[in-house]
Amino acid sequence: RAGTVPPGTTEEQLHYAKKLYDSAFHPDSGERMNLIGRMSFQVPGGMAITGFMLQFYRTVPAVVFWQWVNQSFNALVNYTNRNAASPISTKQIGVAYFTATSAALATAVGLNLYTKKAPPLLARWVPFVAVAAANCVNIPMMRQQEIMSGITVTDENQNELGKSRTAAIQGITQVVVSRVTMAAPGMIILPIMMERLEKYPFMQRIKFLHAPMQVTLVGCFLIFMVPAACSLFPQRCSMTVSKLEPELGNSISTKHGDKVNSVYFNKGL
């Protein structure tokens, strides 16, 4: 941050220091992010919550509790990794949290009751459907201020050009796709594995180990899927001027002509 490198620092140490800094400090505000909300906490936090959601899916109270825990965790992650240049009020945070949690619970409980007479595997997939549906609500709601007011777009040299709602919508859509992709393999493939494994006698004898086993296996999926899903779209996105709102696009073209063909913005994670 001081713009200097201590004498004797190797290039490898410099890159490692930058990795630590980027994982802990917000790219917009430069403030240190809370530990649980950081993307680097997705593996330990996500594996525990997802593993228990996949294990305790049979009863309504268990579904309600673990979906509530998951949405509370997601709300914190979404708030922490938002575009910090667009402030959100406490009231908006509360509405976003309540709406997303309600959507997840309604989806999970409704499907849980609907699949009572369905094949067992379908019931195991209910948590993923609920998580996917909630992500489509939680992220846009938690970042609604960006959609309403727009996010700051810059040129390639970080010179501010204005605020764009179109850029905000594109960025948030990409985040939703990334989050669903992140959860999909573990929550779709693992239920198939457990459905088959639980038919074996040795698995029937160690039922107390099913939950820890699912937590561990979810962690194995997330170790690969968190970086893979985050890398689907760059955090610093770009968009051609022609795709911006007409008024903003015309303003940029009038001021800068052909010198600025694309704008850049932080989509968040």
Q: Do 188 and 105 share a structural domain? A: no
CB 58 within 8 A of CB 126: no
**Element (DSSP H or E) covering residue 123:** helix 120-124
Q: Is residue 203 part of a domain?
A: yes
Q: Do 198 and 260 share a structural domain? A: yes
CA distance 48 to 101: 18
Which residue numbers in the chain have pLDDT < 50?
none
Domain count, the chain: 2
Q: Is the dihedral of CA 110, 116, 118, 122 positive or negative?
A: positive
Q: Is residue 18 part of a domain?
A: no
Q: Do 165 and 85 share a structural domain? A: no
What integer pLDDT is reported at residue 208 of this predicted model? 79
Q: Is residue 22 part of a domain?
A: no
**74: domain range?**
29-149
Q: For residue 93, what are its two tokens?
A: 């945070």
Q: Do 88 and 142 share a structural domain? A: yes
Query: Tokens 């038919």 label which residue?
Result: 199
What integer pLDDT is reported at residue 1 of this predicted model? 63
Q: Do 160 and 54 share a structural domain? A: no
What integer pLDDT is reported at residue 177 of this predicted model? 92
What integer pLDDT is reported at residue 87 of this predicted model? 66
- φ/ψ of residue 266, rounded to 5: -90, 115
Q: Do 89 and 41 share a structural domain? A: yes
Last residue in a domain, options 113, 133, 149? 149
Q: Is residue 3 part of a domain?
A: no
CB 64 within 8 A of CB 109: yes
Query: Tokens 């609920």 label which residue?
Result: 130
Q: What is the pLDDT of residues 172-184, one digit of tens each?
A: 899 899 988 988 8
Torsion, Cα 185 174 37 95, to 10 degrees, reads -110
Q: What is the pLDDT of residues 2-53, one digit of tens each?
A: 778 888 888 888 888 888 888 888 777 778 888 888 878 888 888 888 888 7
Q: For residue 153, what are its two tokens?
A: 């777009």
Q: Is residue 17 part of a domain?
A: no
Task: Assign 233 to helix, strand or coil.
Answer: coil
What integer pLDDT is reported at residue 84 of this predicted model? 64
